[in-house]
Amino acid sequence: MSTDEPLTREQILDELDVLAKVEHALIVEYLSVQCALGHDLPAEQGGATTDALHNLATDVGNLAVSQMRHFKNVNRALVDGGRSVQVERADSIDGIALGPPSAAQLERLVEREEHIAWAVDERYKRLRPAVESGTPVLEGQLLDDVQFILDTCTNHAGGVAGMRTVLDGLAPADFLRATRRETTDPFELGLLSVADRTYGLLVNIVREWLGPDDSSGVLLPPFRSWASDAMSTLDEIHRLLVQRLLLPQFTAA
């Protein structure tokens, strides 16, 4: 589909549905890469071995947080357009498999992340005619939502640009710390299970949090606070996994 071809209102909502799945996949991607780079741990606990690599792991963690905001904004637009919250995860974009990256994919980290980011930005371009044409097919809050998304969610390539600078000339063994996903160790299996259950809990909380507001006057549960607590718990479990040079699996959703 050409990025200049005007979309109908329903096609725009279909695109937002796809983009919500993609943003979920990017959250998992960047959290996985953050762990692979050593999270925020010191070198003796499985963290990066140089300041530049440590800072890169922090930057990638911040990218994951940015995608959480994108995911929220796209879902808000879906709800305002009368659609359901979308918390599923895309399995590919532009022929690139999405999901927790394998050890082989991590070894080609820069090329992978640049290709993914470019493909996502191209997908967002399909929405531009909806707000830039002389007669937009959207109106009201949904038009504002899509305009805000295009203003804030469309520079994924810029987000990963620093990776090449930091990793240029380094072999994968120089920057990859945690790369294992499989284990037979009972303690590690327990950690992976807790990580997956916490991830599944977080996804379910977010589904409720981002859903339509209750207009009945009943006090809503503090979903945002619960989501923040679950994310903090998941982050702590990821640190424990990285200390064992093990990557989270994200298999619960």
Tell me the C-alpha to C-alpha distance, in Å, between residue 103 and each of 59, 69, 96, 179, 182. Answer: 20, 28, 15, 6, 11
Tell me the whole-structure pTM to 2 decimals: 0.94
pLDDT in tens, 32-51: 999 999 999 999 999 999 99
CATH architecture of residue range(s) 9-180: Up-down Bundle (1.20)
pLDDT in tens, 67-82: 999 999 999 999 999 9
How much is the pLDDT for 100?
Answer: 94
Phi and psi for 224 in degrees, rounded to 5?
-60, -45
Position 192, amino acid: L
pLDDT in tens, 185-203: 999 999 999 999 999 999 9
How much is the pLDDT for 89?
Answer: 96
How much is the pLDDT for 214?
Answer: 58
How much is the pLDDT for 136?
Answer: 72
Tokens at residue 123, please?
């997908």
Q: Please state, in angstroms and rounded to a whole number, the distance separating the CA atoms of residues 145 and 67.
A: 16
